[in-house]
Amino acid sequence: MTKSCTVSPREGSSSPRYVDLQLGSINSMQLTNLDFNFYLDYALNGHKYGNDNLFFQ
């Protein structure tokens, strides 16, 4: 699992997050971020998939 996380919770980008245009696209996929402690707790207590690697950035 890879997940960017911040110290404090943060709402994601509002819709639309992706717009397809004639000359390309605009992408703003900033998803909701619960906070570092939430993901750390998941990694230590909730992750039950064996020896998978977990990375935070």
What pLDDT was estimated at residue 2?
A: 53
13, pLDDT greater than 80: no
Query: In this model, does residue 56 exceed pLDDT 60?
Result: yes
Tokens (6 digits) for 9:
């919770």
Interatomic CA distance for residues 48 and 51, integer angstroms = 9
- Predicted confidence (pLDDT) per residue in 17-54, tens digit: 788 999 999 877 777 888 889 888 887 887 766 666 77
- For every residue of 9-31, DSSP letters joined together read -B--PPSP-EEEETTEEEE----
Q: What is the rounded average pLDDT for all residues in the chain? A: 78
State yes or no: pLDDT of 3 exceeds 70: no
For the question of whether the overall pTM of this predicted structure is more than 0.85, the answer is: no
Are the beta carbons of 10 and 33 closer than 8 angstroms? yes
Half-sphere exposure in the Cβ direction for 5 (13 Å, CA)? 17
